[in-house]
Structure 1
């Protein structure tokens, strides 16, 4: 398990990597992609695409309905992945509310290619898959939810470049520190980019609509 110093080091490393990646984006006005037409990053307001999508290693989470969630389950549509937990006091409900605004805005996209939101709880000790699902659907009925036990959960987060850790509180309780970025997966289940706070629902919806039309 990480201690707080380790988390800060990991977050600093992630921030440095994102800075380098942002510089690459700035000097690459039109990025050729290996599976479709070039997409000019300047046309996107919220999503920051990687120069090339990053394949994810095999993973398996448990969905709120009790079925496994694997990479093949996420294929076919653009998916936004957010890590959180149901006892989260601020970041999680705020983020899921903002993502729900984007979901409502893109409801006009035909269902077979309509983007999805996946909430993954990093607190499996308190959040069963069912509880995570109830929490996620409170914000929007279409939001998927899943979690897993360790080490599968940690491996999934690490594959996405995200971090989390348990933080003890007074009285024997605890909270969870976690990354706040939203990961963007393409229709082949690969990590294609990131959305970083502050989130603007209208911008997210417009970007995902464009991505769904350009790289379906």
Structure 2
């Protein structure tokens, strides 16, 4: 039978053993959490593109609601199925807007022979709803190319939409008592899944834009 001294020694040894085991458990690294998934590489090698600058990973667009020129809503589903080039502007723009829409019209003409199901499209969004109704916006855009989508909306809707694309605009009063609109000049590229995939920065070369979007539409439908 154990005497008191032996019992104390056993208890001490047991405590020491438990302490060592606890320390070992604490020092053993926990199983590593699964590594964050690496963004998928663009479907098209960016080096093959001349005008479009693709993001490393497309950016989903939050919900938005604008009004198209025919009175129907422009919602995210409308920008799915085809690659889209988005341009902000306004019908009273004296130079940049008509020039850019003319350049985009040249690209659109180059896409005419592509199958309609994957033909790229252009969306013109007026950021001047005080003067540009949806119908007027549509008439203006169609003057440059009849296939151009056109939309506008309330200030709140426009700010939400443009902000989600990283674009900005502002109303600027003129000395003549009128106003003009300053806005981002870059074009936003939306992929066929309705995600922001890249940008096109000026100066714009219609042939390069046409070739890039045709390539993207073919290889990343």
TM-score category, normalised to shorter length: 0.7 to 0.9
After superposition, the Cα gap between the structure-2 partners of 1:132 and 1:38, relative to the gap in structure 1 and judged at 3 Å, is closer
How much has 1:150 moved relative to structure 2?
1.7
Q: Structure 1 residue 126 and structure 2 residue 126: aligned?
A: no
- 1:112 pairs, out of 104, 109, 117, with 117
Q: Which residue of 1 aligns with 2:145?
A: 140
Q: How far, CA to CA, are the matches of 2:211 and 2:178 in structure 1?
A: 40
- 1:180 deviates by 0.3
2:160 partner SS: helix
- Give TM-score scaled by structure 1 length: 0.83
Task: Give 1:38 deviation, angstroms.
Answer: 3.8
> What residue ranges of structure 1 are gaps of 5+ in the alignment?
1-31
Equivalent pairs counted in the alignment come to: 184
Alpha-carbon separation, structure 2, partners of 1:152 and 1:142 = 24
Give the equivalent residue in structure 1 for 2:194.
189
Q: Secondary structure at the match of 2:87?
A: strand
Closer, same or farther: CA 33–204 of 1 in aligned 2, 3 Å: farther
Partner of 1:18: none
CA distance in 2, matches of 1:105, 1:99: 10
Query: In structure 2, how many angstroms separate the alpha carbons of the residues matched to 1:76 and 1:144?
Result: 14
Offset at 1:99?
0.3
* Aligned equivalents of 1:87, 1:37: Cα separation in 2: 37
1:51 matched to 2:82? The reply is no
Taking a change above 3 Å as real, the CA distance of residues 101 and 48 of structure 1, as seen in their structure-2 partners, is same
2-structure distance, mates of 1:115, 1:203? 14
- Measured after TM superposition, the shift of residue 33 of structure 1 is 6.7
Q: C-alpha displacement at 1:171, in angstroms?
A: 2.8
User: Mind listing any 5+ residue stretches in structure 2 that lack a counterpart?
Assistant: 1-37
Tell me, what secondary structure is at the counterpart of 1:97? Answer: helix
In structure 1, the residue matched to 2:213 is 208
Cα deviation, residue 37, structure 1: 7.0
Deviation, 1:211, is 0.2
Match of residue 75, structure 1, among 64, 75, 80: 80
Q: Give the structure-2-normalised TM-score.
A: 0.81
Equivalent position SS for 1:183: strand
For the pair shown, the structure with the greater C-alpha radius of gyration is: 2
Distance in 2 of aligned mates of 1:210 and 1:113: 11
Give the whole-Å Cα distance in 2 for the aligned partners of 1:133 and 1:38: 33
Instruction: Determine helix, strand or coil for the equivalent of 1:62.
Output: strand
- Mapped to 1, the partners of 2:133 and 2:215 lie a distance apart of 35
- The answer to whether the 8 Å contact 1:37/1:214 transfers is no
